[in-house]
Structure 1
Amino acid sequence: MRAGVDVGPTNTDAALVTRDGRVVATAKVPSAPEDPVAGVRAALGRLPRHELDGVAVGLRGAATAVTRRAGLRRVAVLRICGRSASAVRPLSGWPADLRAAVEAGAAIVDGGGGLGPEDRVPLDREAVRRFAGAVAGRAEAVAVVGLFAPLDGEQEREAAAIVRAELGEIPISLSADLGTIGLLERENATVLDAALSGFAAAVADGLAAALAELCPAAAVFVTRGDGTLMSLAYLARHPGLSLGSGPASVLRGAGALTGLADAVVADVGARRIRVGALAGGFPEVAVGGAEIGGVPIGVGLPGLIRVPRPFDPAELAEAVDRLQPAAGRLPLVVVGGGADAVPGGLHPEHGRTAGAIGAAVSPVGGQYERIVRLPDRSALPAATEAVAEEARAAAVRAGADPRHVEIIEVTDTPLAYLPGPFVRLRARAAGPPSPL
């Protein structure tokens, strides 16, 4: 048996599910907005007692912390690029209240891997030390962002080591771990990742303590924005990956309950309806990049259209139409606590707790993205396999069983605007949770 929990703004849902996806029992309790762990404990307490080998929790707390500007750590931002990318300063364009809640200083220092060895600019180590000294006592976390980190993250790691030597064991987020191309979006995501480190540590510790008491034999996971899971330790290291966690769980649950890999899903809540799409069994990400709290970020989040309640049927129909593919028409699946208010579409059994079911049946995931320079197209298979292997390793680090990890997606995109044969390679891997 595995249990899934979805911590929503109004209710916290729980579901007991067998390994083959059969729903045994569900429960729904009021959420405790300031204490998500208490909601998890209460919801699991309403399920029949069973020996569990895993518990997966869908969290919306990270997104709530950003939108409410609460529970965020103050972050110092170090950008490694020199003059080549210094026209727009870190945190430029952020909403004033979010910037005030997060900012603890910023610096731009010389360095950068460059497009090739001949373009490499040495890291200004002394400038990194001065940065660390300037933010000491103010910064609660640090974000390190290198201009060419998607090609080579070595200078980010070197800078992080210098900062840690100066400031001690402070949380440090590296943009190379996020892997997206656009500098500003990647930087924004890295800053939010660092800002959420306190939230993630508190939730991870709270869930570990609560579930060790309730189900001591169960491995504990948290859902992430791409519809897969990660361990509590992985959440503590990469808290930004939990952004979009709740909606992704709902989309996965809608697919599991209907057996559909491709569908449009309407999640009907007490205050609004969120409409998203499933593609290949996983959430379709926002086209053109995601935004949270007024900040564009380089992390893939489910693409959602929000319809306020009480809703206009024409407005809901328009949202559904906007998510339909160009060819054919996908079925509409209606789930959530207020699903009865929408008469059309498929209403699966247990749809009121789709988020909890989606968390329970999701695999553990990992992904890896890099820009590589190829001498010719014949080198593409070897480069692709190397990126796929890194994705497999990322899934194992997130808590997947290494014996059963599979590649679920590989893409290669030529980058025509860079000199030379550069290709953006991206791989995603997934597997069942590790029994250890």
Structure 2
Amino acid sequence: MVARKYRVGIDVGGTNTDCAILDLFEDHPRGQSVVAWSKARTTANVTDGIAAALGGVLQKSQLDPSSISFISIGTTHFINAVVEADSRKLARVAVIRLGAPYTAQCPPFLDWPESLKKIIYGHYALLDGGLQIDGQEIRPIRPEQLIEECNVIKSLGITNIVMVGIFSSIAAEGTQEEYARKIMLDHLGEGYNIICSGHVGNVGLLERENAAILNAAILPFARKTVKAYRRVLKQLGVSCPLFLTQLDGTLIEASKAAEVPVKTFANGPTNSMRGASFLSESDTSNTRGNESVIVVDVGGTTTDVGVLLPSGFPRKAAAFSEVGGIRTNFSMPDVYSIGLGGGSRVRFTEGNKVTIGPDSVGNAIESEAIVFGGSVLTATDIAVLAGLAPDIGNADLVQGKLSEEKISLAIAELTRMLESVIDKMKIHAGDVTVLLVGGGSIIVPPRLKGVKEVVRIPHFGVGNAVGAAIGRVSGEVDKVEIMAGRSYDGVLEDCKEEARARAVASGAKEGTVSIAEVYTNQLPYVSNQATRIIVKAVGDLDTEVIVDRAADVLEDAGEDGEDEQFERQPYAQAQTGNPDTARPVIIEKYRPEVTNKGEWILNETDLAWISEGCAILGCGGGGAPYPAFLMVRQLLREGHRVRLVDESYFENDEDVVVPVGFMGSPSVSSERIPSGVEIPTASRLLLKYAGVEKVGAVISDEIGGKNGIEPIALASSKHFDCPLLDGDLMGRAYPRMNQVIPCVYSDNGLVPAAGADGVGNCVIIPSTISSPMVETLFRSICTDLGSAIGVAMAPFTIRSFREWGLSRSVSMAWRIGRAVAECRERRDMDKIDEAILKVQKGKCLFKGKIVDVRREVRGGFTWGTLLCSNPNTLTIAPLLLSEQETVPSTSSGKIRIEYNENIRIVIPFQNENLQAILHTRLASSTRTGIRSLIKEVTKTICTVPDLIAVLDSQSGSAIGTQDYRYGLRVTVIAMAGNPKWTTERGLEVGGPRAFGINVAYQPIAPFEEVRSVIEEYRPTVSL
């Protein structure tokens, strides 16, 4: 019997299919582990390209096919279809949301590129259903509604459907999505695919829905592609297990991958980075040492760029990732893809302007490109003309086709595209090393701005295939556990054991499995401490055990290949650009529109910057502003007007101001997106009760988070058509309703107050014995109504606001957002803290990565004794040396942030970050010197009312407490709180002791009043 010792990796790209055989059992340099490799053109039916590549590598190696332990395939086919907006490979999708009337103002596809929306959007319906955060139904499913939609979907000829229920991802199996799916399948019959969003993504309705839509759109093509993969193995007589690589570099059985193809979307870039790491270790000319490097993987259709850490693994993406311009919440590698490859079409327009891609001749390059005898001008032709690839094709065929001027223009554009995407991946402006992989990398010029060295690693042309061959196996547990009366550590350890067991069951070798990721999140305002726990375990593939799974290769591998392809469908060429996207703003020249009357007319740029700033001022709370941003942006696009003013605008001191906002859990706002009627309903109820006939202005109760954006809709011409006042009642976000500035100046400054949910429940509280009682009553109501309600609080006059109000809050948010945008424009994210702290004084407290998140689970905390009673904690550690980016220094060329394994920063939080505690472990040797004793020192370095914001180090955006998760690289900053909060009464309401923090407040920095945007940009009146 032949020993199965070899592993085969295959990468199916848009142009080439690469294959490599590895022998990892012999003790030799990694570059020599590649026994043989082969490249073949990716063919229209996929099968022929795989057969040619695998057959070629078997012929070169002269290995017996029975010696292959497994084959793993990585492919860019699925993500290419999205990037190119290829209608031949993307099916139309119908979306059924369960949760009416919630989410009504934020329908599917609202933030999609128009090119993809036109291809994929088929139908949308918002129906009854959905769950509250505690698992209770918002409304029961109505089967007759689903059957009615089945009839519509049938009439439209759509066969791919996505079922999206509010909070479906936290529920156990057998919930509303599955129930609704069964009803529709029973009525529709065979031939329909219904994807439940809870099987695809996690909490975050828009992002999970987007991922599920992409999964449904690509599903038919994915199934046919996997079937084709199996067929070729059968034809070549290879009988071994078949895997596909996932976006995190781990392996998934082919049958499972065919049902969730989105999980393989970024596997090509991940494999290229893993392969680059593996192969570059044998390259003696590579002297990058401990630096992070940029990996540029150029195929025939796309270029994928990522960051390879010295540890050999890709840098993780931010909390949210975009795929083809579509926002998802996958924990993806930090990869940016553009439509540039060796087969990209090159066009010249009037005025000698040039465009390259995003469409490509792809796998037809050897017949279509001029250098191969075709008639289509491609990036490869340009590379040959420019002398970058003299050995490719027949150079004589392309000579004289273009003038020197056009060649220079094309090379300049190609260079610009590469330099731009490389710069996007940096967090500092210094030069970096670039590792090239992929057959299309021949088009890359040897010198690029911002790049100190371009390195082609050994076997660079098959780096993806090598990365696929070294993939590992994972097991994941994602469940909700009831923690009341149970040990957190005990439950977590049980989940870890289950994840390890699942990894072993998937083919991981016992003894190699380790826990790669742990995420815990207690569901807010749930009395039984229901906690969502996600644990991921990863191990090496057990090549001896998986041999028994060879039958997987033969399953469903029939001979009929005609139904495998989409190429007979008409091709809709990808559009260049998104009509929904405005022209890029030159930040230093941008001026907001302010009228002579002092009215700031809001536009989309202003809104985007305000939204960014509100998220940072939210101090982790206030709810994610993104859904609210989309809804207000849509109002602007529909022609509705929004006016912002400051207090100087009002001539009558008695003009009435109405403070409004949302009360509830941040976890709810990312799922149960408002219906749009909550705040207007509560406001009208309150005004009617209070006898107010005319509203002078609307103001946000808190500028932090979504509550800095939601009141804009109420002030718009769609609703009250009155000004929005440049100010708020907190200057930040706080977790309790009574922590607003009126409660500092009055014992009962909140009532009368009204609240409403999105399904018709309304309540008004005329009076209470105290402001804290308002919080108590509304909190109980809020919990019963799903932990999120719109609230309108006691109106007040402009006279009162001038006395105690917090002015210029919107201006501050706008300026913070602009500072973030400037850092992004300069690709200088390493200085994001400095930019923000120029707007408001403060300090950068820490830079590192999240290593632990505890939510409402008491006990088991190992890093010191907390100085407050709050059990929600975020722990951040310094980056390991292998994870750090180098930053430029004028003296020594490079410096590195000092790593100290004995320090942590712990941030207790409720909805908002409350305190920053520095923990330091000090080692002291015993007299014998045999062992060390650990002494732990804790020091509070910042508390409320100062603002503590946790930023994503790669994007500069704020991370909400609901999105804290292991592995995110973060920058923690603190900003000075408004002095109205630092008075004796202010500290009593919103200072440390209001949260049980037993330390004295010490200001982080002096507060500095920001300049009003209206004041700065208001036209000067000539006398």
Normalising to structure 2: TM-score of the pair? 0.38
* 1:122-171 Cα deviation digits (max 9, x unpaired): 33333223222321252211111111112105211111111211122422
Match of 1:176 among 198, 222, 234: 198
What's 1:25 paired with? Answer: 36
Residue 536 of structure 2: which of 412, 418, 428 is its match? 428
> Using a 3 Å threshold, how does the CA distance of structure 1 residues 317 and 303 change in structure 2: closer, same or farther?
closer
Residue 244 of structure 1 aligns with which residue? 266
- 2:12 aligned residue (2, 7, 12): 7
Higher Rg of the two aligned structures:
2
Structure 2: runs of 5 or more not aligned: 1-5, 282-288, 341-410, 448-452, 550-1023
Paired letter, 2:513: E
Q: Which deviations, in whole Å up to 9, do the C-alpha atoms of 1:378-401 show, x marking residues without a partner?
A: 64334434654665576578x535
Q: Distance in 2 between matches of 1:394 and 1:76?
A: 34
User: What is the alpha-carbon distance in structure 2 between the residues aligned to residue 267 and residue 86 of structure 1?
Assistant: 41
The aligned counterpart of 1:264 is 293
Name which of 335, 342, 361 aligns with 2:437. Answer: 335
8 Å contact from structure 1 (residues 263, 333) kept in 2? no
Provide the C-alpha distance between the structure 1 equivalents of 2:299 and 2:522, rounded to a whole number of angstroms: 44
Structure 1 residues 419 and 284, CA gap change in structure 2 (3 angstroms): farther
Q: CA 1:278–1:28 in structure 2 vs 1: closer, same or farther (change >3 Å)?
A: same
* Structure 1 residue 12: Cα displacement: 2.1
Closer/same/farther in 2, CA of residues 383 and 219 from structure 1, 3 Å limit: same
Q: Which moved more, 1:129-138 or 1:118-127?
A: 118-127
**Offset at residue 195 of structure 1 (A):** 1.1
Deviation at 1:261, TM superposition (A): 11
Moved more, 123-132 or 174-183: 123-132
Match of 2:79 among 63, 77, 101: 63
Structure 2 counterpart of 1:213, from 223, 231, 235: 235
- How many Å separate the matches in 1 of 2:165 and 2:497? 24
Call closer, same or farther: CA 1:175–1:273 in 2, change over 3 Å. closer
CA separation in 2, counterparts of 1:220 and 1:123? 40
Q: Which amino acid is the alignment partner of residue 181 of structure 1?
A: V
Secondary structure, in 3 states, of the residue corresponding to 1:82? coil
Out of 139, 142, 152, the residue aligned to residue 171 of structure 2 is 152
The C-alpha deviation readout for 1:328-356, integer Å capped at 9, x for no partner, is x9976443333785582665422331100
Residues of 1 paired with 2:164 and 2:496: CA distance? 24
Go from structure 1 to structure 2 and tell me whether the alpha carbon gap of 1:270 and 1:192 turns closer, same or farther (over 3 Å shift): closer
Decide which of 222, 228, 231 is 1:200's aligned counterpart: 222
Q: What SS does the corresponding residue of 1:254 show, helix, strand or coil?
A: helix
C-alpha separation in 2, matches of 1:323 and 1:387:
39
1:130 to 148, 152, 157: 148
The 1:133–1:368 alpha-carbon spacing in structure 2 relative to 1, beyond 3 Å, is farther
SS in 1 for 2:536: strand
- C-alpha deviations, 1:190-236, integer Å up to 9, x for none? 01111111111111111111111214322111222111122221122
Separation of aligned partners in 1, 2:234 and 2:133: 48
1:289 maps to which of 320, 338, 345: 320
Residue correspondence of structure 1 range 342-421 to structure 2 within 5 A: 342=446, 344=453, 347-369=456-478, 374-375=483-484, 379-385=487-493, 387-388=495-496, 391=499, 395=503, 399-401=506-508, 406-412=513-519, 414=521, 418-419=524-525
Name which structure has the greater RCO, CA cutoff 8 Å, separation 6+.
1
Q: Distance in 1 between matches of 2:194 and 2:15?
A: 33
Q: Distance in 2 between matches of 1:369 and 1:317?
A: 35
Which residues in structure 2 correspond to 1:28-107 (within 5 Å)? 28-32=39-43, 34-47=44-57, 48-50=61-63, 51=65, 52-66=68-82, 67-107=85-125
Cα deviation digits, residues 254-282 of structure 1 (max 9, x gap): 12224599943422526775431245554
Question: For residues 68 and 119 of structure 1, do their structure 2 counterparts lie closer, same or farther at Cα, with a shift above 3 Å needed?
Answer: closer
In terms of mean alpha carbon deviation, does 169-178 or 90-99 score higher?
Answer: 90-99
CA distance in 1, matches of 2:152, 2:264: 31
Q: Give the SS at the match of 2:170.
A: coil
SS of the residue corresponding to residue 84 of structure 1 reads coil
Q: What CA distance in whole angstroms lies between the structure 2 residues aligned with 1:276 and 1:79?
A: 35
Q: Which moved more, 1:288-297 or 1:196-205?
A: 288-297
Distance across 1 between alignment mates of 2:290 and 2:520: 25
Q: What is the one-letter code of the residue matched to 1:227?
A: G
| TM-score under structure 1 length normalisation | 0.85
Q: Is the 8 A contact 1:262 1:278 kept in 2?
A: no
**CA spacing shift, 1:108–1:380, aligned 2, 3 Å:** farther
| 2:332 counterpart (279, 298, 301) | 301
| Identity between Structure 1 and Structure 2 (%) | 27
Residue 427 of structure 2 aligns with an amino acid whose one-letter code is R
User: May I ask how many residue pairs the two structures share in their alignment?
Assistant: 429
- Tell me, yes or no, if the aligned pair for 1:75 and 1:141 is still in contact at 8 Å: yes
The separation in 1 between residues aligned to 2:314 and 2:245, in whole angstroms, is 12
Q: 2:56 is aligned with what amino acid?
A: R
